[in-house]
Amino acid sequence: MKKDNTIRIGVIGVGHLGNFHVKRLREISGISISGIYDNNPIRTDEISNQYDVKSFSSLEKLLEISDAVSIVTPTPYHFEIANLALDKDCHLFIEKPITDNIEHAGLLLNKAEKLNKIIQVGHIERFNPAFTVLKNLHIQPLFIEAHRLAEFNPRGNDVPVILDLMIHDLDIILSLVGSEIKDIRANGVKVVSSSIDIANARIEFENGCIANVTASRISQKIMRKMRLFQNEEYITIDFQNGVLEEYKICANPPESKVTEKVVELGGPEKRYVLYRKPQVPKQDALKEELTHFTNSITNAQKPETDGESAAKALALALEIQKIIGN
């Protein structure tokens, strides 16, 4: 038995992203890495030696000595591993998407609730430093435009681009709009893989907000940008470079001590456009979300990117995929 309150976390899957999970977990206080498991023994030994962590040839044995696990495997294996981990009394951090179908997601949510276990899903952009600044603003968007473009990489092509890339923006949009969906229109194309590589969706919400979302993994450049338009305000957020800019119409100019740029609009009533570029904190999003996971366990509270919100993002992504067709 443990003699202290240290959380023992196992990492399952130590490929490209799993490597970073191990690296960041080693930097978080109040936890210990109970071990790692991967179905590639050569890779397991490599990461074990690099970070001086114990490796396991049996997943069950790792689960038995862990309080929580970080599941960083290809999406089709999420449900099987997460289900087994719950059986072994573990809290779950699951890389996005939570599963590859909504039925499995629902089974995990119900089981975790019965066992009083936490599920956090790796929608990492919610911990992007630029997004943390956005959350401090009053957001009531009427129109949202998102572009998430990536260069082609064979890794991650086990799922369509909607589940691979677009789901990041879908999760964020759902968290910002807070309204039921009224209508969805979408199209997409297979270009270099056997699944959709580029897709666009137009989502209309019951409250009138419309989101236009584009994702591509065959771009010549990387882009992760979102633009929000609302009454008398326009906000742009660059997730790739950690930059947020705000343009806001005001009746009065700011005090002289304020450093924002100001443009006076013409017309009988004087109005001003204030430009702000808030300072974005320097922080590692992966470390922040893993710290949030451990704090959620310690404080027995629901994570920000919990299983329920992840299931909603998955349901929307799958609906878009269904509209486009396989």
For the chain, the domains span: 7-125+286-301
Q: What is the pLDDT of residue 255?
A: 65
Can you list the positions of beta strands (E) in the chain? 7-12, 31-37, 68-71, 91-95, 119-122, 143-149, 181-189, 198-205, 210-216, 223-230, 233-238, 243-250, 261-265, 271-276
Query: Are residues 77 and 159 in contact, defined by beta-carbon separation less than 8 angstroms?
Result: no
Q: What does CATH list as the number for 7-125+286-301?
A: 3.40.50.720
DSSP 311: H
Beta bridge partners of 7: 31
Please report the sign of the dihedral spanned by the C-alpha atoms of residue 172, residue 173, residue 177, residue 183: negative
Q: What is the pLDDT of residue 1?
A: 41
Q: What is the pLDDT of residue 5?
A: 85
Q: What is the pLDDT of residue 272?
A: 79
Q: Which residues touch 193 (CB under 8 Å, ≥6 apart)?
A: 157
Per-10-residue mean pLDDT, the chain, length 326: 78 96 96 97 96 96 98 96 98 96 97 98 96 90 97 73 95 96 96 90 98 95 96 95 91 62 68 86 95 97 97 98 88
